[in-house]
Amino acid sequence: MRLDKYVKHVLCVSRSEAIDLIKNKQILVNDSTKLKDYDVNDLDIVTFNGKRLEYKEFYYYMLNKPAGYICSTTSHDGTPVTSLIKERNDLFPVGRLDKDTEGLIILTNDGGMAHKLTSPNHDIEKKYYVESKNNIRKEDIDSFLGGVDIRVDDSIYKCKPAKLEIIDDHKSCVYIKEGKFHQVKEMYKAIDNMVLYLKRTQIGEIVLDDKLDLGQYRELNEGEIAYLKSVK
């Protein structure tokens, strides 16, 4: 790969910015300056201001989404979650959370992976922590297991069976394998309840890192990426 393309991708800068970094000798290959069209190979050590650069085709992050951000790459309807990731500007959210919902969002530049994770054919389970207005009843567990009817796009949709765990009267966790618009809120509405607070804590085997405060993020580790790649 040409050195300017390498730098552009790894540092997530424009091509002209990459060329300027090379010209200004901020980019070294094996401790030497190179021209922008130098062909970088796997054995080369490329550094930026003394820090080694590592080329990866795809990047994967987990973000603890705060309320008030939208799962979009544009700002037409609010502030996008992508604005919270400072290192890269080529990421997009996998799936979505409502603007007022907190918790786990995966962001990547891997379109193929994103498609697999959001495809309804894969039945990837997602876990949500819920605080509700009314008491959670034991019979609600059976209602969710049986699949409740919710309203989606002005029509009635029967949800797939979902698991409901009761924490206390007003706190629960729900596990769903689909992602209809406002689904969790509509499911609680179907059992004559109302969601007051909603947070996603898990997607498949990816668990929200409890060390991440709201708005914080980190790259996925090797095990987490291996799980994503195992989804067929």
Q: Hey, what CATH topology would domain 60-120+205-230 get?
A: Alpha-Beta Plaits (3.30.70)
Q: Which class would CATH give 125-203?
A: alpha beta
pLDDT of res. 103: 98
Task: Categorise residue 22: left if φ over 0, alpha if ψ from -120 to 50, beta otherwise.
Answer: alpha
* Average of per-residue pLDDT across 169-194: 94
Q: Do 208 and 200 touch, CB atoms closer than 8 A?
A: yes
* 3-52 is classed CATH 3.40.50.10470: no
Q: Could you give the CA distance from residue 5 to residue 36 in angstroms, rounded to a whole number?
A: 8
Q: Do 196 and 190 touch, CB atoms closer than 8 A?
A: no
pLDDT in tens, 94-142: 988 999 999 999 999 999 988 888 887 778 999 999 999 999 999 999 9
For the chain, the structural domain boundaries read: 3-52, 60-120+205-230, 125-203
* Average of per-residue pLDDT across 71-94: 87
pLDDT of res. 19: 97
Q: Could you give the CA distance from residue 219 to residue 230 in angstroms, rounded to a whole number?
A: 18
pLDDT band at 52 (very low <50, low <70, confident <90, very high): very high
b (16+ CB within 10 A) / e for 6-24? bbbbbbbeeeeebbbbbee
| Matching fold, domains 3-52 and 60-120+205-230 | no
Enzyme catalytic residues? 98
Q: Could you give the CA distance from residue 184 to residue 63 in angstroms, rounded to a whole number?
A: 20
Structure tokens at 207: 């668990």
pLDDT of res. 154: 83
pLDDT of res. 119: 80
pLDDT band at 179 (very low <50, low <70, confident <90, very high): confident
pLDDT band at 75 (very low <50, low <70, confident <90, very high): low
